[in-house]
Structure 1
Amino acid sequence: MILITILLTTLIISLITDVRKRKILNIVTLPTILVAFLYYSITLGWSGFLYSGKGFLVGLGLLLIPYLLGGMGAGDVKLMAAIGALMGPSFVFYSFIYTALIGGAIALILIIKKHGFINITKSIFFNVVFFRSSLGSMTISKDQNSSISFPYGVAIVLGTLCTLIWGGF
Structure 2
Amino acid sequence: MIIKIILVIILLISLYTDVKNRKILNIITLPSILIGFIYHFATQGFEGFLFSGKGFLTGLGLLIIPYLLGGMGAGDVKLLAAIGALMGTSFVFYSFIYIGLIGGLIALVLLIRNKGLVDLIKSFFYTIAFFRSNLGSMFISKDKPSRISFPYGIAIVLGTLCTLFWGGF
TM-score calculated relative to the size of structure 2: 0.88
2:147 is aligned with 1:147: yes
Instruction: Please report how far the alpha carbon of residue 116 of structure 1 lies from its aligned counterpart in structure 2 after TM superposition.
Output: 6.0
2:65 is aligned with 1:29: no
Q: Which region of structure 1 is more displaced relative to structure 2, 106-115 or 48-57?
A: 106-115
Deviation per residue, 1:32-63 (Å, 9 max, x gap)? 10011000011100000000000000000000
In structure 2, what is the equivalent of residue 92 of structure 1?
Answer: 92
Q: Percent identity?
A: 66
Instruction: Please report how far the alpha carbon of residue 115 of structure 1 lies from its aligned counterpart in structure 2 after TM superposition.
Output: 1.6
Amino acid at match of 1:108: L
Instruction: Please report how far the alpha carbon of residue 123 of structure 1 lies from its aligned counterpart in structure 2 after TM superposition.
Output: 2.4
Whole-Å Cα distance in 2 between the matches of residues 56 and 100 of structure 1?
18
Whole-Å Cα distance in 2 between the matches of residues 122 and 65 of structure 1?
25
Amino acid at match of 2:122: S
Contact persistence 1:112–1:120 (CA under 8 A): no
2:38 is aligned with 1:38: yes
Deviation per residue, 1:124-155 (Å, 9 max, x gap)? 8x829x75667xx7864456723100000000
Equivalent residues, number? 164
Q: Which runs of at least 4 in structure 1 moved beyond 3 Å after TM superposition?
A: 119-122, 130-134, 137-144
In structure 2, what is the equivalent of residue 123 of structure 1?
Answer: 122
Instruction: Please report how far the alpha carbon of residue 103 of structure 1 lies from its aligned counterpart in structure 2 after TM superposition.
Output: 0.4
In structure 1, what is the equivalent of residue 6 of structure 2?
Answer: 6
Amino acid at match of 2:18: D
Contact persistence 2:14–2:24 (CA under 8 A): yes
Q: Find the residue that maps to 1:36 and give its secondary structure.
A: helix
Whole-Å Cα distance in 1 between the matches of residues 98 and 15 of structure 2?
16
- Mind listing any 5+ residue stretches in structure 2 that lack a counterpart? none
Report matched runs for 1:47-126 at 5 Å.
Answer: 47-115=47-115, 119=118, 123=122
Amino acid at match of 2:166: W
Whole-Å Cα distance in 2 between the matches of residues 132 and 101 of structure 1?
31
- Mind listing any 5+ residue stretches in structure 1 that lack a counterpart? none
RMSD: 2.3
Contact persistence 2:119–2:141 (CA under 8 A): no
Q: Find the residue that maps to 1:55 and give its secondary structure.
A: helix
